[in-house]
Amino acid sequence: MRGTDYVLKRVFFAIVTVWVALTINFVLFRLAPGTAVTNLSRVPHATQQLRHALEVEFGLDKSKWQQYVIYLKQLAHGNLGISYANQQPVSTNLRIALINTLPMVTVGTAFAIVFGIFTGVIAAWRRRTKTEGLSVSTALAFYAMPTQWLGLMLIIIFAGIFPTAGMTNEFLLNPPFWTHARDLASHMFLPALTLGLTLYGEYTLIVRSAMLETLGEDYILTARAKGLKPRTIVRKHALRNAMLPITTLIALSLGYIVAGAILIESVFSWPGIGRAVYEAVLQRDYPMLQGAFLVLTLSVIFFNLVADLVYFRLDPRITE
Amino acid sequence: MSEATFFVEAPAEGGTSRRGLVLRTLRNQRVALGAALFLAACVLTAILAPWIAPYPLHEQVGPVFGGLSWQHPLGLDDGGIDMVTLLIWGMRVSLVVGFAATFVSMVIGGAVGVVAGYFGGHTDNVLMRITDYFLVIPDVPLMIVVAAIWGPSLFHIIIVIGILLWTSTARVIRAQVKSVRERVYVKRARALGAGHARIVLRHVLPQVAPLLVASTVLTIAVAIFDETALAFLGLSDPSTISLGSIMEHAFERAAISTGAWWAIVPPGVLVTLLILACSLIGGALEDALNPRLRVAHLSARTFRLRPLVGRGKDAL
């Protein structure tokens, strides 16, 4: 019973957060200097009438509150406005971009989680050895590197071996499926590796400290006293319990993944949502920027909720 | 210290022994000491930039993307400007942004943490809820949006980074204030008729100040990182040169395809080292100062743990 309470509470929190994000989004862009009308009515001989007509057309004659309600209503219908840059609906642009981003981010994050847990566990288990020192300092170094710079370094190292820009080879016209898949994979290699490496450092450090904490628990001592093999202790007793804080921390690192995606896609010209943000900034394409910000925020909120529910599944005791 | 500490029995209450703890930590942890020395050297270099930069900042002193030589140990950039000069001036701006933004976030986070922890109840609930929301909303996209709307300027960058990085500080400080508030000498001060302002300023703040500094040093790392990210996206002041904008310029002007690695590798290495130094110092200080991280199991071994960010009100 209290379990359902917990789930409902987290869902409610997520919904309120979505509303907060929508409101921030509305307020921020209303604070932008000038309105759409200021720019459009900057033609020679613009009259007061033209200005007023434009204001009515854009709904800017209404009160801020009415504008806010209209904004929420349109969002509920999936209307994010029209991009200044290519005159397409923002939602269409973003859908394409999101589909491009997802595989790259998924591969990179999966690599980071697997590799990070692996090295983190080893570092904790081989405490006070050279293995620990090496894996911790490597992880720290990758953690400290600016994402975009790491991407550039990988370009310098792998230029000529892997493609360094774009998502597909544009000269391949209607390629057979496997050729296309291989092309896509080779283009994805460097961006995904960059994301994977930046996250891997952080995850290793997190996993290591979570493991160190559980390895200090009394039940580990009991397991040892029972004469269990070290491997069994780590896998069945320590890592299982360490997964709780790890889940939470990985969820909280979603913001980093989003930030990483923006920088990495800018470096590698990957036509995803991060690149959409970059181009929207360059072109001052406010509707696009607003839409992309919204999608990024909503996805972080969503995956946080997922992490909360996974956490609950792993440890039903938590009811706050 | 004030008269209120007179009866306190715990060893680490006085200001001097706290300071002693910091010094001891730095002495015991060689890595943190090295990091502190490196950071100090960087700050000194940045302060002395106008006098020690070997060449003028805005003047072409050699060929475009000129290679390494005795006159220019790190080569020249796309405008024929000496890289060493650029790095010194860039570091100056990056550090200014890092420290100033961190100061903003320290003030906000410290205030929120102290108020929430000290007053508790509804105030605490509301403030921690707000912190929760800020924690979930991804800060880099928000920074990008705010910076894009306000327009590129160094001041905006500092404010933007500052007002988005205070959440972790607020949480750590709040937890600490909650425990300090219950200490005997605070209760005595209250019994003697001290007002909230006096208790907070004279009795609570001195106790949490070291932790505030530790958490702040960690924030400097994030602020420097965020500055390079914003600069790389073209959102920093075009007239100032920071480490992030050096990277951006080199990338935009095709330093990589020209083969001029010296225009792009050193600024990144410098940023990495700065972030690393701040993380190591902040981590070591927090290990020493945050009582929640001092976990000693089975007394034989002590595990020093990094903060485990959790959920709910008492999470750290």
Lowest mean pLDDT among A246-255, B119-128, B209-218: A246-255
Average pLDDT for chain B: 77
Do residue B138 and residue A33 have CB atoms under 8 angstroms apart?
no
Percent of chain B with pLDDT over 70: 82
Instruction: Answer whether B194 touches A (CB < 8 Å).
Output: no
The nearest alpha carbon in chain B to A28 belongs to B146
SS3 state of residue B117: helix
Closest CA to B240 of B95, B88, B90, B97: B90
Buried b (16+ CB within 10 A) or exposed e, A105-120: bebbbebbbebbbebb
Q: Which among A141, A213, A255 is the nearest to B140, CB-wise?
A: A255
Do residue B138 and residue A297 have CB atoms under 8 angstroms apart?
yes
Do residue A284 and residue B148 have CB atoms under 8 angstroms apart?
yes
Express each pLDDT in A209-242 by its tens digit.
888 878 878 888 888 888 888 888 888 888 888 8
pLDDT of residue A195: 93
ipTM value for the complex: 0.83
Q: Which among B133, B280, B310 is the nearest to A248, CB-wise?
A: B310
Across B59-80, average pLDDT: 76
pLDDT of residue B185: 84
Are A65 and A27 in contact by the 8 Å Cβ rule? The answer is no
Do residue B261 and residue A293 have CB atoms under 8 angstroms apart?
no
pLDDT of residue A35: 59
Q: Which among B229, B268, B312 is the nearest to A320, CB-wise?
A: B312
**Looking at per-residue confidence, does B116 or B70 come out higher?**
B116
Do residue A152 and residue B247 have CB atoms under 8 angstroms apart?
yes
pLDDT of residue A177: 82
pLDDT of residue A310: 84
pLDDT higher than threshold 90 for residue B274: yes
Which residues of chain B does A258 touch, with a Cβ-Cβ cutoff of 8 Å?
138, 140-141
Instruction: Answer whether B301 touches A (CB < 8 Å).
Output: yes
Q: What pLDDT band is residue B81 in, cutting at 50, 70 and 90?
A: confident
Average pLDDT for chain A: 83
Q: How far is CA B215 from CA A74, B83, B110, B222, in A?
A: 42, 33, 10, 11
Cβ-proximal residues to A145 (8 Å cutoff; 6+ apart), any chain: A198, A201, B268, B271, B272, B275
Which residues of chain A does B133 touch, with a Cβ-Cβ cutoff of 8 Å?
16-17, 20
Output the six-digit token pair for A178.
């496997």
pLDDT of residue A318: 66
Give the dihedral sign, CA B146/B149/B150/B153: positive
Lowest mean pLDDT among A172-176, B15-19, B107-111, B177-181: B15-19
Lowest mean pLDDT among A315-319, B15-19, B65-69: B15-19
Total Cβ atoms within 10 A of residue B265: 19
pLDDT of residue B19: 60
For residue A66, the distance in angstroms to the closest alpha carbon of chain B comes to: 22
pLDDT higher than threshold 70 for residue B196: yes
Q: Which among B221, B267, B305 is the nearest to A212, CB-wise?
A: B305
Do residue A308 and residue B135 have CB atoms under 8 angstroms apart?
no
Distance CA A158, CA A161 (A): 5
Q: Which among B247, B264, B272 is the nearest to A144, CB-wise?
A: B272
Preferred mutation among B39, B149, B217, B287 to probe A, highest tally of A CBs within 10 A: B149
Per-state percent for chain B, helix, strand, coil, to nearest 5: 70, 0, 30
pLDDT higher than threshold 90 for residue A191: yes
Do residue A277 and residue B138 have CB atoms under 8 angstroms apart?
no
Instruction: Answer whether B306 touches A (CB < 8 Å).
Output: yes
pLDDT of residue A21: 85
Do residue A213 and residue B272 have CB atoms under 8 angstroms apart?
no
Preferred mutation among A15, A94, A128, A148 to probe B, highest tally of B CBs within 10 A: A148
Q: What pLDDT band is residue A41 in, cutting at 50, 70 and 90?
A: low
SS3 state of residue A165: coil
Q: Which among B141, B225, B301 is the nearest to A277, CB-wise?
A: B141
Distance CA A67, CA B290 (A): 47
Q: What pLDDT band is residue B25 in, cutting at 50, 70 and 90?
A: low
pLDDT higher than threshold 50 for residue B267: yes
Across B92-113, average pLDDT: 92
Do residue A33 and residue B151 have CB atoms under 8 angstroms apart?
yes
B155: Cα separation from own chain's centroid: 17
Across A42-53, average pLDDT: 74
Express each pLDDT in A62-111 by its tens digit.
777 888 888 888 888 878 888 877 788 888 888 989 899 989 999 999 99
pLDDT of residue A215: 82
Q: Which among A21, A28, A255 is the nearest to B146, CB-wise?
A: A28
Total Cβ atoms within 10 A of residue B50: 10
Q: What pLDDT band is residue B91 in, cutting at 50, 70 and 90?
A: very high
Distance CA B61, CA A114 (A): 49
Q: Which among A146, A218, A277 is the nearest to B144, CB-wise?
A: A277
Which residues of chain B does A262 touch, with a Cβ-Cβ cutoff of 8 Å?
140-141, 144, 229, 233
Preferred mutation among B135, B136, B280 to probe A, highest tally of A CBs within 10 A: B136
pLDDT higher than threshold 60 for residue B5: no
Q: What pLDDT band is residue B16 in, cutting at 50, 70 and 90?
A: very low
Which residues of chain A does B305 touch, with a Cβ-Cβ cutoff of 8 Å?
209, 212-213
Across A35-41, average pLDDT: 62
pLDDT of residue B236: 81
Which residues of chain B does A276 touch, with a Cβ-Cβ cutoff of 8 Å?
none
Which residues of chain A does B316 touch, with a Cβ-Cβ cutoff of 8 Å?
none
For residue A216, the distance in angstroms to the closest alpha carbon of chain B comes to: 6
Which residues of chain A does B265 touch, with a Cβ-Cβ cutoff of 8 Å?
153, 156
The nearest alpha carbon in chain A to B140 belongs to A259
pLDDT higher than threshold 50 for residue B191: yes
Lowest mean pLDDT among A193-207, A292-306, B206-220, B297-311: B297-311
Q: Which among A159, A217, A248 is the nearest to B297, CB-wise?
A: A217
Do residue B221 and residue A144 have CB atoms under 8 angstroms apart?
yes
Residue B13 C-beta-side C-alpha neighbours within 13 Å? 19
pLDDT of residue A159: 80
Closest CA to A26 of A59, A57, A70: A70
The nearest alpha carbon in chain A to B233 belongs to A278
Express each pLDDT in B224-240 by its tens digit.
998 898 888 888 887 88
